[in-house]
Chains A and B, each alone.
Chain A
Amino acid sequence: EIVLTQSPGTLSLSPGERATLSCRASQTVSNNYLAWYQQKPGQAPRLLIYGAFSRATGIPDRFTGSGSGTDFTLTISRLEPEDFAMYYCHQYGSSLRTFGQGTKVEF
């Protein structure tokens, strides 16, 4: 199975700052089928990015996905108060899907 390693584990930032989250895969993610999710306590995950760089419906343009192969990045250009949450990467290019362990963006 493809292991996804996210870094850092926690990102301590302030509103208005830029957040850069990393996701590294142990093998090439087929077709760059890499997604990013945001999750807040008590809620289901929310799809932000799919196919490595395409924004899901209704996602603001301050969220940007980039990368290919084994190295992927989620960038939040200017943090809004509602962006403080957990973020997970997820690969869906192989028959055994996997998630990263998550990055917490905290204030």
Chain B
Amino acid sequence: EVQLVESGGGLVQPGGSLRLSCAASGFTFTSYWMHWVRQAPGKGLVWVSHINSDGYSTNYADSVKGRFTISRDNAKKTLFLQMNSLRAEDTAVYYCGRMIADGEDYWGQGTLVTVSS
């Protein structure tokens, strides 16, 4: 069974940093591109970033470019999102996901990040 379990969310002050993790199991992690998608309270889905299977190619939404860094540890089957210079508008549930491949994708349950003083 495919499982994606996010951790690392919480309350952080504006300007602070947080590192999200996503532990993957039940599939060959090294074969799939992965992404982070966020959803502010009561709002829609917003793509944040994605990374290819070997970790050498990444892309970011303009709203987080230069502040967030996506990475992966294939040996530990874990996806990361390092978030720096956090702003109030970064407050959201952050989902990690296995990107669409072969007609399927998978999502974690999400982790809440709250940026507030």
Q: A95-B59, A96-B61 are in contact. Are A88 and B104 (CB under 8 A)?
A: no
- Majority secondary structure, B binding face: strand
Do A47 and B45 touch across chains, with their CB atoms under 8 A apart?
no
Docked CA distance A37–B28 (Å): 24
Interface: B46 (CB within 8 A): yes
Q: Mark B38-82, 1 if CB is under 8 A from A, else 0.
A: 000000111100100000000101100000000000000000000
Q: Which chain B residues lie closer than 8 Å to A39 at the CB level? A: 45
B92 to chain A, nearest CB (A): 13
What separation, in Å, do the CA atoms of A5 and B99 have in the docked complex? Answer: 22
A105 to B76 CA separation, bound complex (whole angstroms): 40
Encode B92-117 as 1/0 by CB contact (under 8 A) with A.
00010001100111011110000000
Q: A44-B109, A96-B59, A96-B61 are in contact. Are A56 and B104 (CB under 8 A)?
A: yes
- What residues of A have a CB within 8 angstroms of the CB of B110 in the complex? 44
B98 to chain A, nearest CB (A): 11
Whether the Cβ atoms of A57 and B104 lie closer than 8 Å is yes
The answer to whether A99 touches B44, judged by C-beta atoms less than 8 angstroms apart, is yes
Partner-B contacts on A (CB < 8 A): 1, 35, 37, 39, 44-45, 47, 50, 54, 56-57, 86, 88, 90, 92, 95-102
